[in-house]
Amino acid sequence: MKFKRPIMPLYIIASLLFGVKTYIVYRFLFNIELDNSMQELILFVNPFVSAFLIFALSVWFKRKSRQMKFLRYTALIGTVIVFVNVVFYRQFTDFITIPQLFMGSNMSDLGSSILTLIKPYDILLFVDAAVIWYLSRKQEAALSVDYPKSGKVFALAMSLVLLAGNFLLAEMERPQLFTRAFDREYLVKNIGLFNYHAYDLVVHSKTESQRVFADGNEIPEIQEFIDENVKIYDKSDMFGAAEGKNVIFVNAESLQQFVINNKVNGEEVTPFLNSLTKDSDTYYFENFYEQTGQGNTSDSEFLIENSLYPLSRGAVFFTHGSNEYHALPEVIKEKGYTSSVLHSNNKSFWNRDGMYESLEIDHFYGEEAYEVTPENSIGWGLKDKPFFEQSIKYLQSMEEPFYSKLITLTNHFPFEMDEQDTSIEPFESNSNTLNNYFPAVRYMDEALEQFFAQLKESGVYDDSIIVIMGDHIGISANHNKAMSMYLGKEEITPYDQVQLQRVPLFIHIPGDGNGKVMSEVTGQIDMKPTLLNLLGIESEDDVYFGNDLFSEKRKGYIALRNGDFVSDDYISTAGICYDRVTGEPIDAAAGNADAVEEHSPTENACSAIQEKVDKELSFSDNLIYGDLFRFIDFGEEE
């Protein structure tokens, strides 16, 4: 059979154009770290491999019109996927996952936040799709192919050979890439954006099936690990220090530790919070790390209530909001506590209405409980000062003892502020996000100071403890150049990036008198056991991965959701083991007398802790994906 072979078939042109476009996005729009020439080679190769694999499928269409239609719509859909990832990356320095595609109900509330992430030059991302669309319409006869079956099989075989070669290089560069896939950047860097999305689809399907096949046999191994490596059997000196008191927990939106006791333009950023670090009734934790994933504020809530890790993909509030849990509100309810969340936002955002029911939270005071006007709201909703002011009446009316969590809104990306609410000048750098962050944080600080005064006036203060915790970072790695300017550093290293995941934690106990600055390495995973300890509530048969913040027998490390960790001595990130205090990479033989020179730092000083971290994250995931708490009978607390 004779067939007409064009000089350059359109699927080849499309592969080249799309590959070039994707590589440019990798290098200039994604902040992907490259440590050696092999990583550079893999990053350059993988977009072309992915593009050829997809576009070469067009040769299997017999009719030229269908072949051309496949190419132009594939180019358009692929470009939309790239564009969505670019916009998402600008805010979260991360790549979108399939579970997040099912969180579309949140989009209506994002509003101006999304618009600020879209740049005029983003239109250039669609140039190659437009060229392919034009050529498929105007040059159909010249650019289509009519291969025999052997030619089609050859095109497919070539695609698979290239893909296998890409995966082989990736595995050589990053061994166990697919078995330790906590870090999405490593996946994109090594196998490409589109292969990452295909892998994500496979993982999503696998995890969704875990609940169906779970039978509870997984629990003994998890419980054994917790008993041997996590659980503390001796009570700390702070056990019962707040017995019978109300707990008022402030989830402080996007508040990071670097602003505490720091200045901008010669002025303190957080004068009130700074004063709390010296308050005799306040315990301030200066090495407290956020451990959230893609769920941000909802992930921080999940950590607080359960002492389980959020998922590495999507928001657990959305994906597993109907699971059974043994959360803090349920445990303290048996001791007479009522629980509530106050947050001037709609109940469906992050699927709060569903998840709060699973967590056995008694009441949710959402946007309908507040008087919200154009004058007292901005950005995501009610400003912090009127939010706290309007919340006082609800706190006064609650049956005591109560546990109430208040979630603030104003200090949220893009950190918009009305002029009358701005009391310090913005920072001056190339990042408007960082510049505007400081006035927004100052406003939150002023709101918290007023809140303390209002609690005292209302009569609620003396019988309560007040916890203030930053829920997650507000300034992503995309603003590292500006951040290095503010911190006076030449650059933000991977070590610095982990340190920027510190968020403030204040535990204020009126009348305690023994408050101090705590320097131990701690994290959000520790909040549940700590609150139970302070309230004098034992929960020995519980399943969780945190420790009491005040215990001297802590496990000595905290895991970050991407598989990195911080210990008393080390920080492990980006495949490097750093000294936690100095920030210097650990020598190959450090921390292991038997180490040999060819071993990497992580294989020596950090490897033993890394093994535990991987198990913790895996076991926590198993509990959630398998909905394993439904197989556990916790019984009633003594």
Active-site residues, by number, are: 297
Instruction: Name residue 612's amino acid.
Output: K
Within 281-401, strands assigned E span 282-285, 288-289, 338-342, 363-365, 377-378, 381-382
SS3 of 341, please? strand
- The tally of CA atoms less than 13 A away on the side-chain side of residue 426 is 17
- Which pair of tokens denotes residue 103? 């969180």
Q: Measure the CA–CA gap between 310 and 294, rounded to whole angstroms.
A: 8
Residue 178 DSSP label: T
Helix (H), strand (E) at residue 523? strand 522-523
SS3 of 144, please? coil
Sheet with 565-567, edge to edge strand ranges: 557-559, 565-567, 570-573, 576-579
Q: Measure the CA–CA gap between 21 and 85, rounded to whole angstroms.
A: 14
Helix (H), strand (E) at residue 518? strand 517-518
Nearest Cα residue to 104 out of 315, 293, 378: 315
Q: Measure the CA–CA gap between 529 and 539, rounded to whole angstroms.
A: 9
SS3 of 325, please? coil
Instruction: Name residue 603's amino acid.
Output: E
Q: Measure the CA–CA gap between 251 and 70, rounded to whole angstroms.
A: 49
Pairing of the two strands 576-579 and 570-573:
antiparallel
Instruction: Name residue 52's amino acid.
Output: F
Residue 508 φ then ψ, to 5°: -105, 120
Helix (H), strand (E) at residue 266? none
Cβ neighbors of 153 (< 8 A, separation 6 or more) are: none
Q: Measure the CA–CA gap between 565 and 557, rounded to whole angstroms.
A: 7
Cα–chain center distance at 387: 26
Q: Are 17 and 128 in contact (CB under 8 A)?
A: yes
- Which pair of tokens denotes residue 564? 């990195």
Q: What crossing angle do the helices spanning 64-92 and 10-28 adopt, rounded to 10°?
A: 0
Residue 170: C-alpha distances to residues 37, 45, 120, 432 (Å) = 13, 11, 34, 37
Cβ neighbors of 433 (< 8 A, separation 6 or more) are: 413, 414, 415, 475, 479, 482
